[in-house]
């Protein structure tokens, strides 16, 4: 089964652009970067060729003596079964972190040979670049961030009719009960498998929950191996400790990251590099606190107060050893972590939308906390996330009385509706948030 990825639209606009820079694709491991590039090449070009520098170290020889694009391609053509033609061939440099000369050559493809269409990606690219002190030709490449499969992409494959219905909605009006129930059912399935392609395919092909968990566990095991392969030896225990502390961090009533949850006496300065490693690897998202929702939000961020979420809700569920049945059937003891998982899934939806920036969260002393705040044009939008239908709590009301925002958003299991400046949106529709933030 093939899942249609929204990033294809970005790729297509890039292909048609006159000022085209080579794409450098970033993102966590196992989210489908190589697959997305190859599929785009096969669908939109006469020819597509991939040069994988990890599997075939001999490809590096083409860059050893020259970075002149025509000469490089002439040597690479020896290894290709298809012609390397301007405009007609998509050339993919995969695992580019294994060849610094290839990474640097992207500058010359942009400056001297823009007629060649080049995409590049690599495993833990941000981590590898820093560890090996490689230089990225900033300004000469287009850095593109890719994320796990979003619920929008999942729904398009799991229930095409419901997806098409949601796509046509333009105003915040109540959904038919049947549509809402279908959305909530598919969202529960998504919360179980998350957005990692292998787990999504296992879910959509009805291979069973054991197959879904096996796929997720395989990715978690791969991440553990990555710690040893790409991290400095002294940092490995700290990286592993932070990663495995995520369920405990998010199970607290207050989800703020606390170092002593990792171990007694842990200090921030001892774990800063480990947090940065996980962030560069795309495995976590740090959401920083703002005590005042001003523009720009980054100007009001408190760098010593933050929450940490996993890159994928399915991986987080598996890391916490929460069984699929707990998600699908509910459990009386599944309370604080249920809210955390709901927040993680909504954050994924917010991040997956075009040109999205990492949200912040807002607190007012110890009296109120709003899960996320985002900037939308000239407006700051507070976002509350509730795991189910219970929408009790005063934090969003406190924020509203203090700042009088144009919009405020609550995600829950309740139906879609607008009441004054309040937008109540079913959590499955977080991927469609932007269409409702209008007059």
Per-residue pLDDT of the chain (439 residues; tens, 9 = 90+): 789 999 999 999 999 998 999 999 999 999 999 999 999 999 999 999 999 999 999 999 999 988 899 999 999 999 999 999 999 999 999 999 999 999 999 999 999 999 999 999 998 888 887 777 777 888 999 999 999 999 999 999 999 999 999 999 989 999 999 999 999 999 999 999 999 999 999 999 999 999 999 999 999 999 999 999 889 999 999 999 999 999 999 988 788 999 999 988 888 899 999 999 999 999 999 999 998 999 999 999 999 999 999 999 999 999 999 999 988 876 656 667 889 999 999 999 999 876 668 999 999 877 899 999 999 888 999 999 998 877 777 899 999 999 999 999 999 999 999 999 999 999 999 999 988 987 5
Which 3 state secondary structure label does DSSP give 403? Answer: helix
Provide the pLDDT for residue 66. 87
Max CA distance (Å), the chain: 68
Provide the pLDDT for residue 331. 62
Question: Is residue 196 a contact partner of residue 31, using CB atoms and an 8 Å limit?
Answer: yes
Question: Is residue 49 a contact partner of residue 92, using CB atoms and an 8 Å limit?
Answer: yes
pTM here is 0.94
Query: What is the spatial distance between Cα 351 and Cα 285, in angstroms, rounded to a whole number?
Result: 10
Phi, psi of 199 (to 5 degrees): -70, -40
β-bridge mates for residue 48, sequence order: 90
Provide the pLDDT for residue 266. 86
Burial class (CB within 10 angstroms; exposed 0-12, middle 13-18, buried 19+) of 228: exposed
Provide the pLDDT for residue 333. 60
Which 3 state secondary structure label does DSSP give 39? Answer: helix
Residue entry with tokens 């969260």: 361
Q: Which CATH architecture has domain 7-145?
A: 3-Layer(aba) Sandwich (3.40)
Domain assignments of the chain as residue spans, ordered by start: 7-145, 151-436
> What strand order describes the sheet that includes 89-94?
47-52, 89-94, 117-121, 23-26, 142-145
Query: What is the spatial distance between Cα 408 and Cα 205, in angstroms, rounded to a whole number?
Result: 38
Provide the pLDDT for residue 354. 60
Question: Is residue 413 a contact partner of residue 427, using CB atoms and an 8 Å limit?
Answer: yes
Burial class (CB within 10 angstroms; exposed 0-12, middle 13-18, buried 19+) of 85: middle
β-bridge mates for residue 372, sequence order: 383
Phi, psi of 271 (to 5 degrees): -120, 5
Tokens (6 digits) for 166: 């949601």
Provide the pLDDT for residue 353. 78
Provide the pLDDT for residue 185. 96
């Amino acid at each position: 089964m093939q899942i249609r990825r929204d990033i294809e639209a970005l790729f297509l606009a890039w292909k048609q652009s006159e000022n085209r820079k080579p794409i450098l694709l970033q993102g966590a491991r196992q989210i489908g970067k190589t697959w997305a590039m190859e599929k785009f090449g096969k669908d939109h070009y006469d020819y597509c060729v991939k040069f994988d520098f990890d599997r075939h170290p001999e490809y590096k020889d083409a860059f050893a003596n020259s970075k002149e694009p025509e000469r490089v391609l002439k040597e690479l053509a020896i290894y290709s079964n298809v012609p390397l033609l301007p405009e007609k061939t998509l050339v993919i440099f995969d695992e580019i972190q294994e060849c610094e000369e290839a990474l640097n050559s992207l500058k010359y493809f942009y400056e001297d040979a823009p007629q060649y269409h080049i995409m590049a990606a690599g495993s833990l690219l941000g981590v590898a670049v820093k560890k090996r002190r490689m230089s990225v030709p900033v300004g000469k490449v287009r850095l593109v961030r890719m994320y796990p499969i979003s619920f929008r992409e999942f729904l398009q494959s799991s229930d095409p009719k419901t997806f098409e219905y949601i796509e046509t909605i333009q105003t915040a009006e109540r959904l038919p009960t049947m549509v809402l129930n279908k959305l909530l059912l598919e969202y529960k399935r998504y919360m179980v498998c998350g957005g990692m392609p292998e787990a999504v395919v296992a879910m959509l092909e009805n291979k069973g929950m054991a197959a879904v968990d096996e796929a997720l566990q395989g990715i978690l095991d791969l991440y553990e191996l990555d710690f040893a392969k790409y991290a400095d030896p002294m940092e490995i225990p700290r990286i592993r400790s932070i990663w495995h502390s995520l369920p405990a961090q998010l199970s607290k009533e207050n989800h703020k990251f606390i170092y002593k949850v990792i171990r007694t006496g842990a200090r921030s300065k001892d774990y800063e590099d480990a947090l940065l490693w996980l962030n560069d690897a795309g495995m976590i998202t740090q959401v920083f606190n703002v005590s005042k929702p001003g523009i720009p939000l980054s100007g009001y961020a408190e760098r010593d107060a933050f929450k940490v979420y996993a890159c994928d809700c399915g991986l987080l569920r598996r890391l916490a050893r929460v069984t699929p049945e707990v998600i699908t059937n509910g459990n009386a003891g599944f309370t604080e972590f249920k809210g955390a998982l709901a927040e993680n899934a909504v954050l994924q939806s917010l991040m997956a939308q075009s040109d999205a920036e990492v949200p912040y969260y807002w607190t007012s002393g110890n009296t109120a906390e709003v899960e996320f705040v985002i900037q939308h044009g000239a407006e700051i939008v507070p976002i509350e996330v509730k795991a189910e239908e219970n929408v009790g709590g005063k934090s969003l009301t406190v924020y509203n009385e203090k700042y009088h925002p144009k919009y405020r958003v609550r995600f829950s299991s309740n139906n879609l509706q607008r009441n004054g400046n309040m937008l109540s949106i079913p959590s499955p529709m977080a991927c469609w948030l932007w269409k409702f933030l209008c007059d």
